[in-house]
Structure 1
Amino acid sequence: MRILLIEDDKVLGETLKDYLSIENIELIWLWDERELPKVIGKYEFDVIVVDLILRYTSGEKIITTLRKVGIKTPILVITAKSSIKDKENCFIRGADDYLTKPFDFKEFVLRLKALSKRKHIESIITIGDITINLDGKTIHKGNEEIRISKNAWELLSLLIKKKGEIVDTETIMNYIWPDKEVGEEIVRAYIKELRKILPSDCIKTYPGRGYRLL
């Protein structure tokens, strides 16, 4: 799971980063919300966590902007604001959940996991004669389990999340290798690995653009 945190409290941000690493949850943390446009187009997130009281703008405006540009990722608000009016305002703008500070870190993680599942209506995906369990991270053809590399699994998961959409090559590279410089040829190699196990023609190539899972 990869989370985007927009929070200018550096103590809280560092604490959440350490805690989530224990839970094997990757955190991309922005303490300066003005950097959001650079990040939102570079990475794929399972949940976006937004504080309402920020240095340069408000969390409410960020929620509105994200929804206006078509970002459908679940949004969790964390804030010291606790009134019903504040909560209503956030939900109207498109927030999915609301957690008032101070909060228990375990509850925070539980809410993240619940929200991340909203993005995937089904955890069991069938493609031809292949059954993919997203939660269990397994692939079966009949009773036979098929094993693929970790990077191939990450690529398959991304294509499933974006099924029916063209996923550009840059998005794939930033999703699987966020901290490494890799070329398009490595993406093609893992696409080839997936094509060996999936039904023919279920991954369509768009030269110069990316790939789409049909």
Structure 2
Amino acid sequence: MRVLMVEDDLILGESLKDYLESNGVEINWLKDDRKLDEAILMSEYDVIVLDLMLKYNKGEDILKQLRDKGIKTPILIMTAKNRIEDKEVCFELGADDYLSKPFNPKELLLRIKALSKRLHAPDIEKIGDVEIDLERQVILKNGQEVKISKTAWNLLKLLLKRRGEVVPTEVILNYVWPDKAVGDEIVRQYIKELRKILPEDSIETHKGIGYRLK
């Protein structure tokens, strides 16, 4: 699970990053909210954790901008603002959850897991004669189970999340191979693996840009 955390409190941010990483969550901690667009463009996230009181921009404005741009990633507001009016504004702007400071880090972890699980509903995707069970990680083609590599599965999951969109190769590399220096050729290799099981022409190649799952 990959989480983008926008938090300019260095002490809190460091402690939350350490805790979440120790529980298997990959964290991109953004201390400067002005770099948010770049962070969103460069990778794909399961959950965004957003503080409201930031150094350069209001969290409420960032929340609105993300939703106006069509970003569907679940957003958890993490803030010292605890009035019901503040919560109402954020939920109306498109927040999925709201956690008031101070809080137990385990509660943040539980809420992130719940939002991530909600993101992947519905659990069954269909592409022609191929049925993909996201929760069980099972692929059926004409009723028969098909096995693919773990890496190909992660790539398929990303394409399903962004189905209908052209996913840039750079985003794919950062999502599937976050800690490895690999190039375009390896993406083509695993796209080829997926094309063997999916209906013909399901995956479009946009040369020099990326790939689109129809």
TM-score (structure 1 length as normaliser): 0.90
Structure 1 portions without partners, runs of 5+:
none
Deviation at 1:109, TM superposition (A): 2.0
Matched, 1:151 2:162: no
Structure 2 partner of 1:199: 199
Q: Number of residue pairs matched?
A: 214
Q: Which moved more, 1:175-184 or 1:163-172?
A: 175-184
SS of the aligned residue for 2:5 comes to: strand
In structure 2, distance between residues paired with 1:150 and 1:10: 35
SS of the aligned residue for 1:208 comes to: coil
Q: Which moved more, 1:129-138 or 1:82-91?
A: 129-138
Q: Which moved more, 1:76-85 or 1:90-99?
A: 90-99
Structure 2 partner of 1:133: 133
**Paired AA for residue 4 in structure 1:** L
Structure 2 partner of 1:123: 123
SS of the aligned residue for 1:126 comes to: strand
**Paired AA for residue 91 in structure 2:** F
Deviation at 1:142, TM superposition (A): 5.5
Deviation at 1:20, TM superposition (A): 1.7
SS of the aligned residue for 1:41 comes to: helix
**Paired AA for residue 135 in structure 1:** E
Q: Deviations over 1:114-133 (max 9, x none)?
A: 22234333112232333322
Deviation at 1:113, TM superposition (A): 2.1
Structure 2 partner of 1:42: 42
Deviation at 1:144, TM superposition (A): 4.5
**Paired AA for residue 102 in structure 1:** P
Q: How does 1:68-79 map to 2 (within 5 A)?
A: 68-79=68-79
SS of the aligned residue for 1:78 comes to: strand
Q: How does 1:57-72 map to 2 (within 5 A)?
A: 57-72=57-72
Change (3 A) 1:15 1:137: farther
In structure 2, distance between residues paired with 1:167 and 1:6: 23
TM-score (structure 2 length as normaliser): 0.90
In structure 1, distance between residues paired with 2:31 and 2:206: 36
SS of the aligned residue for 1:197 comes to: coil
Structure 1 partner of 2:8: 8
Structure 1 partner of 2:85: 85
SS of the aligned residue for 2:57 comes to: coil
In structure 2, distance between residues paired with 1:22 and 1:139: 31
In structure 2, distance between residues paired with 1:205 and 1:150: 22
SS of the aligned residue for 1:20 comes to: helix
User: Quick one: percent identity of the two aligned structures?
Assistant: 59
Deviation at 1:95, TM superposition (A): 1.4
Task: Let me know the Cα RMSD of the aligned residues.
Answer: 1.9
